[in-house]
Amino acid sequence: MAIDVESKRASETPMKLDSTVVKAIAIDLGFDWAGIAPAVSPPGYPRFLEWLEADRHAGMDYMERLAAARVHPENVLEGVRSIVVVALVYGGGGESENADPRFGKTARYARGIDYHQVFWKRLDVLLERIRAIDPSVRGRSACDTAPLLERDFAALAGLGWIGKNTMMISKKLGSFTLLGGLLLDLELEPDARHETNHCGTCTRCLDACPTSAFDGAYRLDANRCISYWTIEHRGTIAEEFADRLDGWLFGCDICQDVCPWNRKAPRGKTPELSAGDEWVNVDLIELLEADDEAISRRLRGTAFKRAKRSGLLRNAALILGTRGVVEAIPALAARTLDRDPVVREAAVWAIERIESVDPQPQ
């Protein structure tokens, strides 16, 4: 039975602060799901250390730097007793991709405004409402920026299981979900842990990866992942992968697009995360032709700023070169004089690739 949070807040009888109330407040704030996890060492921590030791984190040195802090949420909030885990569904799944080779693809989660801003705002209000009931409660919001294994705590809170593609999957919400958490020094009754893995014998996600980033179930090698190369990697992309971005300007959704659990997953209902037309299909030539002010304006307030100007222009050049888009040569030629050596190198590579397929008249 749903709780009328506003009515209870207005009631003369003090509201008892328990798990049911806290989750009801979270849902009232617009989260698609909320659960309570105990503040314990995450069960996947040993596997995380093995992943690091195998050098599967590629150039994400911050993962190794903060590895010890992830052993327990106490390192995020001293005295933590419970974690309110929340999820937001993103992307409608109905946005059509432009088949024109001059257009690049982008990951669904990034097509709206920066999701961190959405989570922080709502989690801050969630903490305020909790403190309105009990002012002694201390808390801290977390959304990717704290050393917390969010997927482990989402599983502990009952959302779903970590699939073979290492993504959190929910039977009700699918895997196109973003996770956040509110750490509290308040003892709350935790939800039942999700114990069952529903991937079964399916290997669609593993088989679909165009760069073979998975060498087995639950074994992701970031060194071979398109999302890593297009978002996290700084500098020149290795020759082995320069022509294997598969049209992705930023991120990659392939292993989620093929997941059967996403076939009937609900559409995102958070307006801020709705896809903006300019980021569903990106005109790569237009991007290369844009000046710095236009690029900066376009990145402002979005997750795309993670790749920075350098990464996006680099990726655009590599995709156009791989696809042999002849009409991109003027824009690429201009970028061979770019102030950024990474962009210059990508532009030269792209022109050479195009001309090797379609030699220009002498």
Q: Which residues are catalytic?
A: 144
Phi, psi of 176 (to 5 degrees): -80, 65
Instruction: Tell me the C-alpha distance between 329 and 285, whole Å.
Output: 9
**Greatest Cα-to-Cα distance within the chain, rounded to the nearest angstrom:** 86
> In sequence order, what DSSP letters do the residues of 72-94 get, joined into one string?
-GGGTSTT--EEEEEEEE---S-
3-state helix, strand, coil in the chain (%, to 5): 45, 10, 45
Place of tokens 């020759």: 239
Instruction: Tell me the C-alpha distance between 1 and 295, whole Å.
Output: 49
* Structure token digits, residue 84: 């309110």
Rg value, the chain, Cα: 22
DSSP bridge partners of 161? 169
- 300: exposed, middle or buried (Cβ count in 10 Å: 0-12, 13-18, 19+): exposed
Contact partners, residue 249, CB within 8 Å, separation at least 6: 104, 105, 106, 230, 282, 284, 287, 312, 315, 316, 319
